[in-house]
Amino acid sequence: METIAIISDIHANHVALETVLSDLDRICPTQVVCLGDVAATGPGPGEVIRKLLSRDWKFVRGNCDDAILRYAAGVTPPPGDEHFEIDQWCSTQLSSRELAFVASSEPVVSFTVDDVSLCCYHGSPKSNLDELLPTLPDDEVDRCLRGHSAMIYAGGHTHVQMVRRFREAYVINPGSVGLPFAFDRDSSEFKPLWAEYALVHIDQKELAVQLRRIPVSAGAIHAAANESKMPHKSWWTSAWR
């Protein structure tokens, strides 16, 4: 049996990444694909990139990876926007080698395992800003995937775990390692105390998709933020309950 791990949206949360890495090292998947947004919007951009540099994985570039590269090139974020100002700070924490690593990732990564084809992207193969949600109408899904042929389509960006059947294929989202989204009874967004990713098991063309949630320590996440020089620390940590 072949096992492909799919992770996404680490968002410079090295505490959550370390939790997932420990789980992956125990499982020992055949391959790992990272769907982007690795070093933006969190307290440990350099720590995350240094951990990823040691891994022989496939890497997709996300929209926040593009933002990091723009800020490193001198683009100024909108004033008063905490999210983008943190991203700009993240760009200043990366060395030229680390920025080159971010720039080396591809918009779409396609490969085949045991005759099972995979198409991996961030938002969609057409744009890393597309949102392939469970409720997206089939014609919109078709628009996003048109021109690509795979048995498994895997993307991130929405931070919402999903397995969706689309014609003869599966469209999956592993959720987010570093900034998972959830909703309480009042539909107010918050970040739960787990890190998310997915495993795809392939055994003689039989498929099984496993969505995983690994508990993480709120104290460790808060400590990492407070020990960093990241701007808007209280804004970033306030949503972790």
Q: List pLDDT tens digits, range 193-202.
A: 899 999 999 9
Position 182 pLDDT exceeds 80: no
Greatest Cα pair distance in the chain: 54
- Find all residues with CB under 8 Å of 176, minimum gap 6, and list them: 8, 9, 10, 11, 156, 159, 195, 196
**CA–CA separation, 160 and 62 (whole Å):** 15
pLDDT at 185 exceeding the cut of 50:
no
Give the pLDDT of residue 39: 97
Per DSSP, what are the bridge partners of residue 118? Answer: 111, 152
Convert the pLDDT of each residue in 223-238 to its tens digit.
999 999 999 998 888 8
Section 11-22 average pLDDT:
97
**pLDDT tens digits, 75-93:** 988 877 899 999 999 999 9
In what order do the strands lie in the sheet containing 162-166?
Answer: 109-113, 116-120, 152-154, 169-173, 162-166
Domains (ranges, CATH) in the chain?
2-107+173-237 (3.60.21.10)
Whether the pLDDT of residue 124 is over 90: the answer is yes
Contact residues for 150 (Cβ-Cβ < 8 A; gap 6+):
110, 117, 118, 119, 169
pTM of the shown model: 0.94
Task: Kindly give the residue spans of alpha helices, DSSP state H, lying in 130-217.
Answer: 138-145
Phi, psi of 216 (to 5 degrees): -125, 160
Give the mean pLDDT of 141-148: 94
Name beta bridge partners: 3: 201
pLDDT of residue 50: 97
d(Cα 231, Cα 41) in Å, to the nearest integer? 10
pLDDT grade for 183, boundaries at 50, 70 and 90: low
* pLDDT level of residue 181 (50, 70, 90 thresholds): confident
